[in-house]
Protein backbone atom coordinates (compact mmCIF):
# COMPACT_ATOMS: atom_id res chain seq x y z
CA UNK A 1 0.00 0.00 0.00
CA UNK A 2 1.48 3.31 -1.07
CA UNK A 3 0.45 6.94 -0.77
CA UNK A 4 1.46 9.10 -3.68
CA UNK A 5 1.98 12.84 -3.92
CA UNK A 6 2.71 15.13 -6.83
CA UNK A 7 6.35 15.52 -7.77
CA UNK A 8 8.07 14.14 -4.69
CA UNK A 9 9.78 10.98 -3.54
CA UNK A 10 7.66 8.89 -1.17
CA UNK A 11 10.42 8.45 1.42
CA UNK A 12 11.82 11.05 3.74
CA UNK A 13 10.44 14.19 5.27
CA UNK A 14 8.36 15.78 2.51
CA UNK A 15 5.80 18.44 3.24
CA UNK A 16 3.67 18.58 6.35
CA UNK A 17 0.53 18.54 4.29
CA UNK A 18 -0.25 14.89 4.90
CA UNK A 19 3.00 13.10 5.47
CA UNK A 20 5.65 15.76 5.67
CA UNK A 21 6.38 19.88 5.05
CA UNK A 22 4.55 23.10 3.87
CA UNK A 23 4.83 26.49 2.07
CA UNK A 24 7.68 28.98 2.31
CA UNK A 25 6.03 32.27 3.15
CA UNK A 26 4.53 33.16 6.52
CA UNK A 27 1.42 31.08 7.04
CA UNK A 28 -1.82 32.92 6.34
CA UNK A 29 -4.02 30.54 8.30
CA UNK A 30 -6.45 29.94 5.44
CA UNK A 31 -7.98 26.44 5.20
CA UNK A 32 -6.40 24.41 2.44
CA UNK A 33 -7.60 21.46 0.38
CA UNK A 34 -5.10 19.61 -1.74
CA UNK A 35 -5.24 16.58 -3.99
CA UNK A 36 -2.46 14.03 -4.22
CA UNK A 37 -2.00 12.14 -7.46
CA UNK A 38 0.07 9.36 -8.89
CA UNK A 39 3.38 10.18 -10.52
CA UNK A 40 6.14 8.51 -12.48
CA UNK A 41 9.48 7.67 -10.93
CA UNK A 42 11.07 9.78 -13.64
CA UNK A 43 8.80 12.88 -13.85
CA UNK A 44 8.00 13.87 -17.42
CA UNK A 45 9.03 17.51 -17.12
CA UNK A 46 11.09 19.53 -19.50
CA UNK A 47 14.79 18.85 -18.87
CA UNK A 48 13.99 17.33 -15.48
CA UNK A 49 15.77 14.17 -14.53
CA UNK A 50 16.10 12.08 -11.39
CA UNK A 51 19.28 10.31 -10.32
CA UNK A 52 19.49 7.55 -7.74
CA UNK A 53 22.65 6.14 -6.25
CA UNK A 54 23.47 4.16 -3.14
CA UNK A 55 26.55 5.14 -1.13
CA UNK A 56 27.73 2.24 1.00
CA UNK A 57 29.50 2.67 4.30
CA UNK A 58 32.85 4.24 3.68
CA UNK A 59 31.26 6.71 1.29
CA UNK A 60 32.41 7.82 -2.13
CA UNK A 61 35.41 9.92 -3.03
CA UNK A 62 34.39 13.04 -4.89
CA UNK A 63 36.59 15.87 -6.03
CA UNK A 64 35.75 19.46 -5.20
CA UNK A 65 36.97 22.69 -3.70
CA UNK A 66 38.69 22.48 -0.36
CA UNK A 67 36.76 23.90 2.56
CA UNK A 68 38.02 24.02 6.11
CA UNK A 69 36.06 21.79 8.51
CA UNK A 70 34.15 20.12 5.69
CA UNK A 71 34.16 16.36 5.28
CA UNK A 72 34.79 14.90 1.84
CA UNK A 73 32.11 12.31 2.64
CA UNK A 74 28.84 14.08 3.52
CA UNK A 75 26.92 10.81 3.99
CA UNK A 76 29.11 8.93 6.46
CA UNK A 77 31.84 11.40 7.33
CA UNK A 78 32.27 13.61 10.37
CA UNK A 79 29.78 16.46 10.67
CA UNK A 80 31.50 19.87 10.56
CA UNK A 81 31.06 22.37 13.36
CA UNK A 82 28.02 24.56 12.81
CA UNK A 83 28.73 28.08 11.57
CA UNK A 84 25.87 30.60 11.96
CA UNK A 85 24.90 32.32 8.71
CA UNK A 86 23.02 35.50 9.57
CA UNK A 87 21.81 35.95 5.99
CA UNK A 88 21.31 32.29 5.10
CA UNK A 89 18.96 31.87 2.10
CA UNK A 90 16.71 29.42 3.99
CA UNK A 91 13.23 28.89 2.60
CA UNK A 92 11.96 26.28 5.05
CA UNK A 93 13.13 24.13 7.96
CA UNK A 94 11.06 21.19 9.14
CA UNK A 95 11.35 18.43 11.75
CA UNK A 96 8.97 15.49 11.78
CA UNK A 97 8.24 12.45 13.90
CA UNK A 98 6.09 9.73 12.38
CA UNK A 99 4.23 7.27 14.59
CA UNK A 100 1.80 4.39 14.26
CA UNK A 101 -1.62 5.60 13.19
CA UNK A 102 -4.07 6.99 15.75
CA UNK A 103 -7.33 7.45 13.83
CA UNK A 104 -9.03 9.41 16.61
CA UNK A 105 -6.65 12.35 16.05
CA UNK A 106 -9.01 13.43 13.27
CA UNK A 107 -11.63 14.23 15.94
CA UNK A 108 -11.40 17.69 17.48
CA UNK A 109 -12.41 16.51 20.93
CA UNK A 110 -9.56 13.97 20.95
CA UNK A 111 -6.82 16.56 20.41
CA UNK A 112 -8.23 19.09 22.91
CA UNK A 113 -5.67 18.31 25.62
CA UNK A 114 -2.82 18.56 23.11
CA UNK A 115 -4.06 21.99 22.04
CA UNK A 116 -4.45 23.14 25.63
CA UNK A 117 -0.87 22.14 26.48
CA UNK A 118 0.48 24.32 23.64
CA UNK A 119 -2.14 27.07 23.52
CA UNK A 120 -0.02 29.75 25.22
CA UNK A 121 2.72 29.46 22.58
CA UNK A 122 0.61 28.41 19.59
CA UNK A 123 -2.78 30.09 20.05
CA UNK A 124 -4.04 29.95 16.43
CA UNK A 125 -5.67 26.67 15.36
CA UNK A 126 -7.19 25.46 12.13
CA UNK A 127 -8.14 22.17 10.52
CA UNK A 128 -7.01 21.40 6.97
CA UNK A 129 -8.69 18.75 4.88
CA UNK A 130 -6.06 16.85 2.93
CA UNK A 131 -6.82 14.46 0.12
CA UNK A 132 -4.44 11.95 -1.36
CA UNK A 133 -4.53 8.81 -3.48
CA UNK A 134 -3.79 5.43 -1.98
CA UNK A 135 -2.52 2.64 -4.23
CA UNK A 136 -3.34 -0.97 -3.40
CA UNK A 137 -1.21 -3.38 -5.39
CA UNK A 138 -2.25 -7.01 -5.90
CA UNK A 139 -1.16 -9.76 -8.27
CA UNK A 140 -3.94 -8.91 -10.70
CA UNK A 141 -4.36 -5.14 -10.54
CA UNK A 142 -3.52 -1.78 -9.03
CA UNK A 143 -6.45 -0.10 -7.31
CA UNK A 144 -6.68 3.65 -6.63
CA UNK A 145 -8.59 4.94 -3.64
CA UNK A 146 -9.09 8.60 -2.63
CA UNK A 147 -8.28 9.18 1.04
CA UNK A 148 -9.39 12.27 2.98
CA UNK A 149 -7.77 13.12 6.30
CA UNK A 150 -7.67 16.03 8.73
CA UNK A 151 -4.41 17.77 9.62
CA UNK A 152 -4.52 20.08 12.63
CA UNK A 153 -2.43 23.26 12.35
CA UNK A 154 -1.22 25.25 15.36
CA UNK A 155 0.48 28.62 14.81
CA UNK A 156 2.46 30.94 17.04
CA UNK A 157 1.10 34.52 17.44
CA UNK A 158 3.09 35.79 14.42
CA UNK A 159 2.22 32.72 12.32
CA UNK A 160 5.86 32.03 11.49
CA UNK A 161 5.99 28.74 13.41
CA UNK A 162 3.54 26.00 12.51
CA UNK A 163 2.82 22.63 14.10
CA UNK A 164 1.07 20.01 12.00
CA UNK A 165 -0.63 17.09 13.74
CA UNK A 166 -2.09 14.23 11.69
CA UNK A 167 -3.15 10.68 12.47
CA UNK A 168 0.40 9.39 11.90
CA UNK A 169 2.84 12.29 12.34
CA UNK A 170 3.63 15.52 14.11
CA UNK A 171 5.83 18.19 12.52
CA UNK A 172 7.21 21.63 13.25
CA UNK A 173 8.19 24.00 10.47
CA UNK A 174 9.25 27.58 9.96
CA UNK A 175 10.75 30.06 7.54
CA UNK A 176 12.16 32.10 10.47
CA UNK A 177 14.84 29.72 11.66
CA UNK A 178 16.95 30.84 14.62
CA UNK A 179 19.12 27.83 15.45
CA UNK A 180 18.97 24.05 15.68
CA UNK A 181 19.02 24.26 19.49
CA UNK A 182 16.02 26.60 19.56
CA UNK A 183 14.13 24.51 17.01
CA UNK A 184 14.74 21.21 18.79
CA UNK A 185 13.75 22.68 22.14
CA UNK A 186 10.43 23.71 20.59
CA UNK A 187 10.08 20.20 19.20
CA UNK A 188 10.81 18.73 22.63
CA UNK A 189 7.91 20.70 24.14
CA UNK A 190 5.60 19.57 21.32
CA UNK A 191 6.56 15.92 21.73
CA UNK A 192 6.03 16.22 25.48
CA UNK A 193 2.51 17.52 24.89
CA UNK A 194 1.85 14.70 22.41
CA UNK A 195 3.14 12.04 24.80
CA UNK A 196 1.07 13.26 27.75
CA UNK A 197 -2.18 13.92 25.88
CA UNK A 198 -2.38 11.34 23.07
CA UNK A 199 0.52 8.95 23.72
CA UNK A 200 0.89 7.29 20.30
CA UNK A 201 1.95 3.68 20.83
CA UNK A 202 5.11 3.44 18.69
CA UNK A 203 7.43 5.75 16.75
CA UNK A 204 8.25 4.86 13.12
CA UNK A 205 10.87 7.42 11.99
CA UNK A 206 12.25 10.91 12.42
CA UNK A 207 13.28 13.39 9.73
CA UNK A 208 14.81 16.84 9.37
CA UNK A 209 14.74 18.97 6.23
CA UNK A 210 16.49 22.18 5.17
CA UNK A 211 15.57 24.04 1.97
CA UNK A 212 17.79 26.85 0.65
CA UNK A 213 17.22 28.95 -2.44
CA UNK A 214 19.37 31.50 -4.28
CA UNK A 215 17.09 33.89 -6.15
CA UNK A 216 17.93 36.28 -8.96
CA UNK A 217 20.49 36.67 -11.70
CA UNK A 218 23.10 38.21 -9.40
CA UNK A 219 23.41 34.91 -7.54
CA UNK A 220 22.88 32.68 -10.57
CA UNK A 221 25.76 34.33 -12.42
CA UNK A 222 28.05 33.31 -9.54
CA UNK A 223 26.95 29.71 -9.02
CA UNK A 224 30.38 28.41 -10.02
CA UNK A 225 31.98 30.23 -7.08
CA UNK A 226 29.17 29.59 -4.56
CA UNK A 227 28.22 25.95 -5.20
CA UNK A 228 30.37 22.83 -5.42
CA UNK A 229 30.97 21.95 -9.05
CA UNK A 230 29.63 18.38 -8.60
CA UNK A 231 26.14 19.81 -8.06
CA UNK A 232 26.10 22.17 -11.03
CA UNK A 233 25.81 19.52 -13.75
CA UNK A 234 25.45 21.47 -17.02
CA UNK A 235 25.26 24.84 -15.25
CA UNK A 236 28.78 25.80 -16.20
CA UNK A 237 29.64 29.47 -16.94
CA UNK A 238 29.55 29.02 -20.70
CA UNK A 239 26.18 27.20 -20.65
CA UNK A 240 24.26 28.40 -17.59
CA UNK A 241 22.68 31.43 -19.25
CA UNK A 242 21.11 29.18 -21.90
CA UNK A 243 19.67 26.55 -19.51
CA UNK A 244 16.03 27.00 -18.53
CA UNK A 245 15.66 24.19 -15.98
CA UNK A 246 17.98 21.56 -14.55
CA UNK A 247 16.77 19.70 -11.46
CA UNK A 248 18.32 16.56 -9.97
CA UNK A 249 17.45 14.21 -7.12
CA UNK A 250 19.87 11.97 -5.25
CA UNK A 251 18.91 9.30 -2.72
CA UNK A 252 21.75 7.89 -0.62
CA UNK A 253 22.37 5.86 2.50
CA UNK A 254 23.87 7.71 5.48
CA UNK A 255 25.34 6.82 8.84
CA UNK A 256 21.94 7.61 10.38
CA UNK A 257 19.60 6.26 7.71
CA UNK A 258 18.95 7.90 4.35
CA UNK A 259 19.17 11.29 2.72
CA UNK A 260 17.32 12.78 -0.23
CA UNK A 261 18.86 15.82 -1.91
CA UNK A 262 17.06 17.78 -4.60
CA UNK A 263 18.96 20.58 -6.26
CA UNK A 264 19.18 22.62 -9.42
CA UNK A 265 18.02 25.56 -11.48
CA UNK A 266 14.33 26.46 -11.46
CA UNK A 267 12.86 29.00 -13.91
CA UNK A 268 10.50 31.79 -12.96
CA UNK A 269 7.18 30.40 -11.77
CA UNK A 270 8.46 26.84 -11.24
CA UNK A 271 9.10 24.83 -8.07
CA UNK A 272 10.23 21.23 -7.57
CA UNK A 273 7.91 21.10 -4.54
CA UNK A 274 5.40 23.98 -4.31
CA UNK A 275 4.36 22.98 -0.78
CA UNK A 276 7.86 23.62 0.51
CA UNK A 277 9.17 26.28 -1.84
CA UNK A 278 6.37 28.09 -3.68
CA UNK A 279 7.40 29.46 -7.08
CA UNK A 280 9.01 32.90 -7.19
CA UNK A 281 9.02 35.56 -9.90
CA UNK A 282 12.69 35.06 -10.75
CA UNK A 283 14.88 32.16 -11.73
CA UNK A 284 16.50 30.45 -8.74
CA UNK A 285 18.86 27.68 -7.66
CA UNK A 286 17.51 25.34 -4.97
CA UNK A 287 19.17 22.95 -2.52
CA UNK A 288 16.64 20.80 -0.63
CA UNK A 289 18.20 18.32 1.84
CA UNK A 290 16.02 15.81 3.70
CA UNK A 291 17.69 13.41 6.16
CA UNK A 292 15.72 10.74 7.98
CA UNK A 293 16.18 7.66 10.13
CA UNK A 294 14.15 4.60 11.08
CA UNK A 295 16.61 3.67 13.82
CA UNK A 296 14.01 4.68 16.40
CA UNK A 297 11.30 2.47 14.88
CA UNK A 298 9.13 0.52 17.34
CA UNK A 299 10.28 2.65 20.29
CA UNK A 300 8.08 4.57 22.70
CA UNK A 301 7.47 8.28 22.12
CA UNK A 302 10.08 9.68 24.50
CA UNK A 303 10.78 13.40 23.82
CA UNK A 304 14.43 13.57 24.94
CA UNK A 305 15.41 10.46 22.98
CA UNK A 306 13.58 11.57 19.84
CA UNK A 307 15.09 15.05 19.95
CA UNK A 308 18.53 13.44 20.17
CA UNK A 309 17.65 11.38 17.08
CA UNK A 310 16.38 14.51 15.31
CA UNK A 311 19.64 16.25 16.18
CA UNK A 312 21.58 13.47 14.43
CA UNK A 313 19.61 13.62 11.18
CA UNK A 314 19.64 17.45 11.27
CA UNK A 315 23.43 17.32 11.59
CA UNK A 316 23.60 14.99 8.57
CA UNK A 317 21.51 17.41 6.51
CA UNK A 318 23.87 20.17 7.58
CA UNK A 319 26.91 18.07 6.61
CA UNK A 320 25.52 17.66 3.10
CA UNK A 321 24.75 21.38 2.91
CA UNK A 322 28.32 22.27 3.93
CA UNK A 323 29.72 19.77 1.43
CA UNK A 324 27.60 21.39 -1.29
CA UNK A 325 28.78 24.97 -0.86
CA UNK A 326 32.08 26.85 -1.06
CA UNK A 327 34.06 29.12 1.25
CA UNK A 328 32.77 32.03 -0.79
CA UNK A 329 29.18 31.02 -0.01
CA UNK A 330 30.00 30.93 3.71
CA UNK A 331 31.64 34.34 3.59
CA UNK A 332 28.82 35.84 1.52
CA UNK A 333 26.05 34.81 3.94
CA UNK A 334 27.76 35.21 7.30
CA UNK A 335 26.48 38.73 7.52
CA UNK A 336 28.22 41.66 9.14
pLDDT in tens, the chain (336 residues): 333 333 444 445 555 543 333 333 455 544 443 333 322 232 333 333 334 333 433 443 333 333 445 568 999 999 999 998 988 999 999 999 999 999 999 999 999 999 999 999 999 999 998 877 767 777 777 877 777 889 999 999 999 999 999 999 999 999 999 999 999 999 999 999 999 999 998 999 999 999 999 998 889 889 999 999 989 988 877 676 778 888 999 999 999 999 999 999 999 999 888 888 888 999 999 999 999 999 999 999 999 999 999 999 999 999 999 999 999 999 999 876
Closest-CA residue to 25 (of 113, 112, 91, 97): 91
**Which residues constitute the domain of residue 282?**
2-333
Between the CA of residue 181 and those of 184, 237, 311, what are the distances in Å? 5, 38, 9
pTM, two decimal places:
0.77
* Interstrand relation of 33-35 and 124-137 (parallel, antiparallel or unpaired): parallel
Q: What SS3 class is residue 101?
A: coil
Segment holding 116, helix H or strand E? helix 112-118
Q: How many domains are contained in the chain?
A: 1
Amino acid sequence: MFKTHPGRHTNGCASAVDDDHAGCKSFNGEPQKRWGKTFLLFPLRKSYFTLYFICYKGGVKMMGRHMSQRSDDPLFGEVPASVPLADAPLVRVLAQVRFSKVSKISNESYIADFQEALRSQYPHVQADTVQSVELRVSDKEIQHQAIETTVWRFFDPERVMRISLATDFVALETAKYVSREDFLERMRVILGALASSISPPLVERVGFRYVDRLVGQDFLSELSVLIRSDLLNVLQPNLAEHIEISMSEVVGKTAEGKLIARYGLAPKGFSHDPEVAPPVDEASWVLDVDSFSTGCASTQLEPDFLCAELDKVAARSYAFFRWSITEEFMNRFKGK
